[in-house]
Amino acid sequence: MQQNDIDIRIGARIRAERESRNWSLTDLAERAGVSRAMIHKVERGTSSPTANLLGKLSGAFGLSMSTLLARAEAAGGHLLRRLDQPVWIDPETGYIRRQISPRSDLPLDLVQIVLPAGKHVPMPASAYAFQRQLIWVLEGELEFDEGPVRHRLNAGDCLQLGPPADCIFRNPGKFPCIYAVTVLRND
């Protein structure tokens, strides 16, 4: 799937979520704390949303970011082959998100993240509402700020997140950090 295709699908999903709630662009902008113009560009597929923006929008909808993206990306069925796994790239940081699990009625999502060296991605607490999750570092090192607490994780380490808090994923290393996120949805 091309990056432009995924941007169009994400934009369409955001519009569908907004319209299903009978919200105007202004309503969503106020609830998410982002500009109306930016939402309009994302919905049209002319601007690739950042991870932080997606976190704010999903929180406004009362959804996890993972659920919002899965609704836009994932195909159904029992098998999702690697070549068919949707990939989304944050235009601001180069953060790569791969949806590993197929869309199903299971309340679980499995996602692989590649965070480039020296980059960080902030996420608002609203992006984690309605879910529980684990972070498992596969390669590299990850600093994860969960509210005021900083966790330093290396390859093989696994962290269960606590209650929703503003977070920052940070790669302090010289190489990409690859980690898996397992999300148990409550939505």
Q: Which of 7, 124, 108, 133 minimizes the C-alpha distance to 59?
A: 124
In a 3-state reduction of DSSP, which class is residue 145? strand
CB 129 within 8 A of CB 59: yes
How crowded is the C-beta side of 105, counted as CA atoms within 13 Å?
Answer: 0
pLDDT at site 41: 92
- Per-residue pLDDT reduced to its tens digit, 31-44: 999 999 999 999 99
Give the pTM.
Answer: 0.75
Angstrom distance (rounded) from CA 52 to CA 6: 17
Q: Is residue 41 exposed (0-12), middle (13-18) or buried (19+ Cβ within 10 Å)?
A: middle
